[in-house]
Amino acid sequence: MLTNWRSSPLLALAALVVITAVWGYTFTIVQAAVELMPVMDFMAWRFAAAALVMLVIRPQCLRGMTRQELLRGAGLGVVLGLGYITQTYGLLYASAAVSGFITGMFVVLTPVMAWIILRHKTDAKTWLLVALATVGVALLSLNGWSVGPGELLTLACAVLFAIHIVGLGEWSPCYDPYTFAFLQIATVAVISLIAALPGGFTPPPTTEVWITVGITAVFATALAFIVQTWAQSLVSPTRAAIVMTMEPVFAGFFAVVIGGDHLTLRTLLGGACIVAAMLIINLRSAPATPRDT
């Protein structure tokens, strides 16, 4: 019955749901970890471990790599690294639930970045959805007439993730997905390590933080990239993106259940606006394809 599991679109969607839940869960545990150790030290441990895991799983992944592939992979890695850095620093000042919802705006911001960078046309309905998501961010983050540093950093993270997706969409079809993913993760590890060294690179201070490093490195980074690459070879980008819009929902859920966050009516309304915008923009982002059935 499971002999054809590698080619099962249903199993691929289920795997994406699991990975999305893992991403949502990590908002809470990462927030706890960076309260006990420097952000860049945590980032360096996480991504160095993830890169090592990927290299051990497939040591031949760098064979035949071209100079252009290296430069493009490293370039996207820099953007990805800046995204994770701003997101992780943002968790020092914003709750895990709010961070999850604002980070999820990358789905809505992606067509905006495609319009700015690649001059891809963006219709009026998309701009309306961007406005809806912006209202959601305002409900989540505005404190009177001011916005906190955590919300601003997380919004910058969403922009950077959107830029990363645009670049990945343009370049990833040209290269082996595993190698391209490894180059980006390794680049993030190098950037984080360089940034951490001036302050003295330190190991995780507690067993709990070591566990968080392990979970985020193996499951939320290395395994997540591998699973996402495999899953998106079986299901359409539209379906995959719709599943991944559940990340901020999982982030809010785990923040309340595990982290003890309180979801106010304003937070729920703000999150609902962002999730609605993300779902709508993905449902109408592309016509049905054979893999959409």
Task: Flag whether 4 is in a domain.
Answer: no
Overall number of domains in the chain = 1
Task: Flag whether 154 is in a domain.
Answer: yes
Task: Flag whether 2 is in a domain.
Answer: no
- The pLDDT of residue 177: 81
Q: Which residues of the chain have pLDDT under 50?
A: 1-2, 145, 286-293
> What single string gives the DSSP state of each residue in the chain?
--TTGGG-HHHHHHHHHHHHHHHHHHHHHHHHHTTTS-HHHHHHHHHHHHHHHHHHH-GGGGTT--HHHHHHHHHHHHHHHHHHHHHHHHTTTS-HHHHHHHHTTHHHHHHHHHHHHH-----HHHHHHHHHHHHHHHHHHEETTEE-HHHHHHHHHHHHHHHHHHHHHHHGGGS-HHHHHHHHHHHHHHHHHHHHGGG-----SSHHHHHHHHIIIIIIIIIHHHHHHHHTTTS-HHHHHHHHTTHHHHHHHHHHHTT-----HHHHHHHHHHHHHHHHHHHTSS---GGG-
- The pLDDT of residue 76: 92
pLDDT in tens, 89-107: 998 888 777 787 788 777 7
Task: Flag whether 293 is in a domain.
Answer: no
- The pLDDT of residue 11: 85
The domain containing residue 148 runs over which residues? 9-58+67-200+210-286
Task: Flag whether 3 is in a domain.
Answer: no
Task: Flag whether 292 is in a domain.
Answer: no
Task: Flag whether 135 is in a domain.
Answer: yes
Task: Flag whether 291 is in a domain.
Answer: no
